[in-house]
Amino acid sequence: MENNEIRKKVESALDEIRPYLIADGGNVSLISVESSVITVRFEGACVGCKVNQLTLKNGVEAIVKKYVPEIEKVVLEK
């Protein structure tokens, strides 16, 4: 699958979780797709949230893997 196609699928998956993040004053942005790993950036209240690693793994990564099984890992931008 081409990178642009994967990016579109990942963005669609992120659209599923964004309303929950926005409701808490945050958001998530897709930064890059490299092979089977995507990099995201938390925004707003998510940046300083004490449970953002839990949100990353159990929320963002889980929904992305559901919609885009080619993705094996989601990491935060450094």
Q: How much is the pLDDT for 35?
A: 87
Contact 61, 74 (CB under 8 A): yes
Tens-digit pLDDT profile for residues 17-65: 999 999 999 999 999 999 899 999 999 999 989 999 999 999 999 999 9
Sequence letter at residue 41:
R
Model confidence at 1, pLDDT cuts 50, 70, 90, reads low
Q: How much is the pLDDT for 3?
A: 84
CA pair distance 56, 18, nearest whole angstrom: 12
**pLDDT at residue 2 above 80?**
no
What value, to the nearest 5°, has the Cα angle with vertex 11 and ends 78 and 23?
80
- The predicted model scores a pTM of 0.91
CATH superfamily of 3-76: Fe-S cluster assembly (FSCA) (3.30.300.130)
CA pair distance 56, 62, nearest whole angstrom: 8
Helices (H) then strands (E): counts for the chain: 4, 3
